[in-house]
Amino acid sequence: LLMYSMEIMKQAMEPLANSPEFASLLVAFSVPVLGLIIGAVFTGVIQSSAASLGILQTMALTGGITYGMAIPVIMGFNIGTCMTAILSSIGVNRNAKRVAVVHILINIIGAVICLSAWLILDSIFHFPLADTPATPVGMALVHTIFNVATTCMLLPFTKQLEKLTMRILPDKKNDRNSS
């Protein structure tokens, strides 16, 4: 069913390959920071990085999206998916809100570090991958690698993330007096 859906979306996207509007959207993707922002906003609206990735994968089937374009957008998807945590933290206790803050921090810090590393290393080594047309499987792999790398990178810093979260969302004065 998933593959059938992807095929239907691919057929629907084929006319876009020659569309000037679609070409201008792809130009926006070629600016890494803009791609990151577009990915975050789009995923924030639809609240699913998996759905956003599926749409990007379908767009890639037109052949107009390279890994250099897709990588920042995929990192943006991970920031945008925090919208569900933000919405679910409305009306809950302070510790539950802190969980949402940690989720946001992890994805923003991970995206900043990974995108910076990608851009610096690509400017030095000029990775051929950056100009290679992206494939659905390759983009899924990039998404997975980003999430695993971010987790491994930030896992040793759990205490620092906790302290930062406490600074962002401190205890209320009433909470401290009652403890």
Say how far apart CA 126 and CA 132 lie, in whole Å.
12
Instruction: Give residue for tokens 């759905």.
Output: 51
pTM of the model: 0.84
Give the pLDDT of the chain (179 residues) as one tens digit per residue. Answer: 656 766 776 676 666 656 666 656 666 778 999 999 999 998 998 888 888 898 888 888 878 889 999 999 999 999 999 999 999 999 999 999 999 999 999 999 999 999 999 999 999 999 999 999 999 999 999 999 999 999 999 999 999 999 999 999 999 876 554 44
Q: Which residues pair with 66 in a beta bridge?
A: 133
Q: Tell me how far apart the alpha carbons of residues 104 and 40 are, in angstroms, rounded to a whole number.
A: 11
The pLDDT of residue 73: 94
* CA dihedral for 65, 58, 108, 35, sign (positive or negative): positive
Determine the pLDDT at residue 177: 45
Using CA atoms, how far apart are residues 50 and 115, in angstroms rounded to an integer? 20
For residue 179, the model assigns a pLDDT of 43
Residue with tokens 């509007």: 21
Structure tokens at 132: 């290679």
The answer to whether the beta carbons of residues 174 and 99 sit under 8 Å apart is no
Are the CB atoms for 102 and 161 separated by under 8 Å?
A: yes
Sign of the alpha-carbon dihedral angle for 136, 152, 158, 95: positive
